[in-house]
A and B are shown apart, each in its own frame.
Chain A
Amino acid sequence: EDQVTQSPEALRLQEGESSSLNCSYTVSGLRGLFWYRQDPGKGPEFLFTLYSAGEEKEKERLKATLTKKESFLHITAPKPEDSATYLCAVQAGSSGYSTLTFGKGTMLLVSP
């Protein structure tokens, strides 16, 4: 069974204080790892897709990296508007269709 574990569950940062969120996964045949941002009461918003170990993607203050066992979402010099829950999801399986398995998320609060 595919498993996705995110840590920490919650993280409080001061504005400008860089940090990283972790997503560790156990799957058989990773096809893609996804990062989403979710604001309270709203639908998840797509951030990145990573397909293979060593891959990195960046968007503004966010940078996602991938190894064979985990992914990190690095937040550089965060601002209060980066406060949200960040979700990690994996799609696995060597053939055919496979569902997305989501982690429970990391709730990030950035204080001014």
Chain B
Amino acid sequence: EAQVTQNPRYLITVTGKKLTVTCSQNMNHEYMSWYRQDPGLGLRQIYYSMNVEVTDKGDVPEGYKVSRKEKRNFPLILESPSPNQTSLYFCASSLGRGAYEQYFGPGTRLTVT
């Protein structure tokens, strides 16, 4: 089954404790992206990657890091999480840089206390 998977699905952590949210897709998609979704603000892009070893900032990259060492994986790293990073996070993938639909993962609900 074609899908985007994320882990963990739920995470409660404390300020400053480094964490990684994994994302994997099995569709051989070139493009992958991370979004956060907050009430009243909608979906906002954090980082995206157009291919292996190619990443770029989205609209809200502060406080986040990403890497793309393999085509299928695109982890999101919070090196020193803060309470304002409490949010619902989604990973997405698509065929490429054109106007292709994005397929979203199930989401990771992160709470930073």
Contact = CB atoms under 8 A, between A and B. Distances in A.
Interface of A: 31-32, 34, 36, 41-46, 49, 51, 87, 89, 91, 96-97, 99-100, 102-105
A104 B45 contact: no
Given A43-B107, A99-B45, A100-B45, A34 B40 contact: no
B12 interface: no
Interface stretch (B14-22, B70-78, B96-104): B96-104
Interface residues of B, number: 27
Interface of B: 4, 33, 40-45, 48, 50, 58-59, 88, 90, 92, 97-107, 109
Q: Which 4 A-B pairs rank lowest in CB-CB distance, beginning with the nearest?
A: A32-B99, A43-B104, A104-B42, A31-B99
Nearest to A9: B40
A96 B50 CA distance: 11
A89 B63 CA distance: 25
B108 to A, nearest CB: 10
Contacts of B58: 99
